[in-house]
Structures are given as C-alpha cells and as structure tokens.
Amino acid sequence: MLAQLQSALAEGETSGFHVPSIADFFPQAIFGEGTFYEFNRVQLIRVVATLVLLTVFFIAAKRATLVPNRFQNVIELILDFVRKNVIDEIFGPERGTKYVSMITTIFLTILAFNLTGVIPGLNLAGTALMGVPLLLALWVFFAYWRAGIQQHGFFGYIKANLFPPGIPWPIYFIVAPIELLQILVIRPASLAIRLVANMVAGHIMLVLCFSATQFFVWEAGPALKGFSVLTLGGGFVFTAFELLVAALQAYIFALLAAVYINMSLEEEH
C-alpha cells in the first residue's frame, strides 16, 4: 500500500496533484510585468484586505450608537482587546495613549492580511511575502528610536542601549556591538521573519492537504481514494489552526512592537 501511495504521489507531480513550493508566493503579474508598477495576485489580495478592513471600520464609525448593536460590540471588543491586553499591559494607561492608533493599526492590518490565507478565492496570506511585514517592522524600528531619542536624547539613548550599567568596561567591547546589532537589525528582522515564516508554513500545509484531497478523489486509483478522507480532515484541522495562528501572530507582532517601544522609554535595558 505504501509503495502504491509513493507511486501515486510521484505521478501526481506531473498530473493533477499540486506540490506546494515557494513559487506559489510569486504568482505571475496581472499587469506591468517586469516594471516598477508590476501588480500580481499577492498585491491584489492586499488591496482587497485593506478595502474590506477600511469598509468595516467606516461602517462601524458611521453607525456607532450609544447603545451598541452586535456589529458594534464585535468592533469594540477587538479594539478593547488591543487596548487592554497590549497597550495598557505594556505601557500603562497614561503612557500608552500616544501609541493606541499605531499598535491598533498594526494589529488589525496583520490580522486582516493573515486571514486572507484561509478565505476561498484568495487562499494566500498578504503577509506571506516580506514586503508588508518588513514595512511594519521598519515602522516599529523608527518608532522606538524616535521614542528613545525623545526620552533620553540621542547620546543618552545610545548610552542606555549600548552600555548597560553594572558590566566591567572591557566587556563593553563585546556587548556594545551586539546591542547595536540588536536595535538596528535583530529586532525589526525578527518581527518580519517570524510573521512571514508562520504564514508561509501555514499556506504550504493547507495547499498540501487540499491538493492531495483533489488528487486522491479525482485521479488516484480506487485503492487510494480512501486517503482523501484523511487529507480532507487534515485540511480542515489546519484551516482551524491557521485561524488561530493568524490571530496569534497579529497579537505577538503588536505585543513585541509595544515591548520594544516601551524598552526605549525605560532608563535601563
């Protein structure tokens, strides 16, 4: 039976079984191929997600009432979650007011773009390529540098980060370059790479399960059609898991953004 399965999968590489690969994340251009204005399916997904997100909150703002309905309750629940569990928890209520719009925008953008990976017809997370995650990570990078310099002054901020107190001075020759690399590269890179890696892995697992299901149902021999039950079940399980990951990664990105900015405001790091 195992030999039959391996043979079927090998045949599937040249038939109806789509083997997921990194090429899935670089679709052909819809227009402008090879130019600065190239527009492909990933960018279309991002535009759709952005328009939907803006429309939802525009409607919520226009229909806001003193006694909220169900739709308004859901929107307020999401906003309160970010405010209470990220901003107030990390910054405190007073200091965090300045960063409410930024952290909330980051959370909602990532959540919306992540969820496109499980929406039929889109089937690819808008954060599965580095562009948007890197842009958001750079926003966080500039925000915590700006916050730190405003709080401590340029040289005070550099001193607080590169030369933490309580360390013998010869060790600074090792610590200072590491700390500089951390605030310049490691923090923004870790934000972007973590998000992209999770979205890529989720997409590959979903495509593998549902493509295998299609193959087993329509093209595999009778002895192998039973495997479609396993792959279809696995597809639904991974879809539910991907929904959890989509929300979790948005939360982690927003939480770490708040942590990094707050660290810049502290006297010692």
pLDDT at res. 195: 95
- Asked if residues 77 and 245 have their Cβ atoms less than 8 Å apart, the reply is no
pLDDT at res. 113: 96
Q: Report the distance separating Cα 247 and Cα 113, nearest Å.
A: 10
**Domains: count for the chain:** 1
Q: Report the distance separating Cα 51 and Cα 49, nearest Å.
A: 6
Residue 242's domain comprises 2-265
131-160 average pLDDT score: 91
CA atoms within 13 A on the CB side of 85: 13
pLDDT at res. 34: 78
Tell me the pLDDT band of 4, cut-offs 50, 70 and 90. very low
pTM of the model: 0.86
Q: Which of the two residues, 215 and 146, has the higher pLDDT score?
A: 146
